[in-house]
Structure 1
């Protein structure tokens, strides 16, 4: 009987199963450690990729901001407005070059009244109702006035001419604007948030290529105009407090 017990198969021995359990525990423990290491590696790689992407996005944003700033500085440099001096005029008639220096101005008035600017042939190049409250007219006009032109002010005690600064913008007000200096060239949808007025685009020869009545409600004119702006073109806006250009 003793010999039969000694000859029992090894897999029926207690020490065999102890070894099996130990080996299984080692395998399970090792597999768990590998999974954690893989997760750490994956997370680290994902974080590094995300950080790299975020850093590249920030760099691109900085470059775009720098480019916009450079373009604005370049636009300002192309328009010399050093001759313009802040001037206040009362009701009456005045000559540019005598009563006020030529230049580009933002024109505002106290109260409500009429502002006219006539060229050397006596034709009106500006014909606006100035109204500080913007209820009966526009609060300001931005335009260039040239030597020899005549200014006529009616119904206003004081009209202030402030030298205009040049900067690129997708929101323009009543006045005259140059593509490439005041707004970037491109294709836009043009709208106004309120009111009704005239919208013009002139080519380099001064010929109007767009002539529309822009109306926020669409009752007295069109609600939207799609245009392609090219460097050097002039935009004319009349009777509108704000015109928005949305890039297509």
Structure 2
């Protein structure tokens, strides 16, 4: 009898454990089905390590920022450090652009060009950062950009409060595939998958708060449609 009871107790623990695991997975599946939000190990693999330097915001006046345009000097690519400012990084025909902090931590990587990838990569570039254009480019352009509020964000890093107003939004893309990350210092990032197309297109609802960063990746442009808040009479 003791053996039977012990066996039943072990089975109960196993079933209980399985139920909890299934519940966790079920919650993740439901969150994705309802809002296209990716979580768990898949999210960690896609986002990777979020280094503190990604929260850098430079002087948006761009007083020292200068436009740079020129041919790629070698087939191995080019590594540059530039004056601090907010820039759009572009190249022809297509290649990879990497941004590293002063400790050589990779902050951003994006395929950019007119043959493949997104059309540009926009970010705040500190004087301690390094930009690397790989050998896929014949020419590269580094263009200072002014700060203005918008509800259409291109690939790159954006500040809530400076580049887009805080609030509740529905996000979507007309075509293609990509991601939106919502980053906040000291908190777990959020990740939303974007699917374009009339039949397969997705829409997610997100809440943006002052001081957060929004990263748009693998897609050239995301539309943020403000949600109208309904108030009781």
| Aligned CA-pair RMSD | 2.2
Out of 154, 160, 169, which is 2:150 matched to?
Answer: 169
Larger Rg: 1
> Given the two structures, how large is their TM-score scaled by the length of structure 1?
0.61
Out of 152, 177, 194, which is 1:214 matched to?
Answer: 194
3-state DSSP of counterpart to 1:174: strand
Identify if the C-alpha distance between structure 1 residues 214 and 79 changes in structure 2 by more than 3 Å, giving closer, same or farther: same
Out of 95, 98, 108, which is 1:116 matched to?
Answer: 98
> Given the two structures, how large is their TM-score scaled by the length of structure 2?
0.64
Out of 127, 138, 141, which is 2:109 matched to?
Answer: 127
Identify if the C-alpha distance between structure 1 residues 202 and 170 changes in structure 2 by more than 3 Å, giving closer, same or farther: same
Does structure 2 conserve the Cα–Cα contact (< 8 Å) formed by 1:195 and 1:216? yes
Q: Which residue of 1 aligns with 2:15?
A: none
Identify if the C-alpha distance between structure 1 residues 211 and 219 changes in structure 2 by more than 3 Å, giving closer, same or farther: farther
4+ long deviations beyond 3 Å: 206-209, 217-220
Please state which structure has a larger fraction of its residues in strand: 2
Please state which structure has a larger fraction of its residues in helix: 1
Q: Deviations over 1:159-206 (max 9, x none)?
A: 111111111111111011011111111111111111111210112x16
| Shift of residue 121, structure 1, vs aligned partner | 2.7
Q: Which residue of 1 aligns with 2:68?
A: 87
Q: Which residue of 2 aligns with 1:184?
A: 165
| Shift of residue 158, structure 1, vs aligned partner | 1.3
Aligned equivalents of 2:106 and 2:199: distance in 1? 27
Q: Which residue of 2 aligns with 1:225?
A: 204
Identify if the C-alpha distance between structure 1 residues 219 and 202 changes in structure 2 by more than 3 Å, giving closer, same or farther: farther
| Shift of residue 217, structure 1, vs aligned partner | 4.7
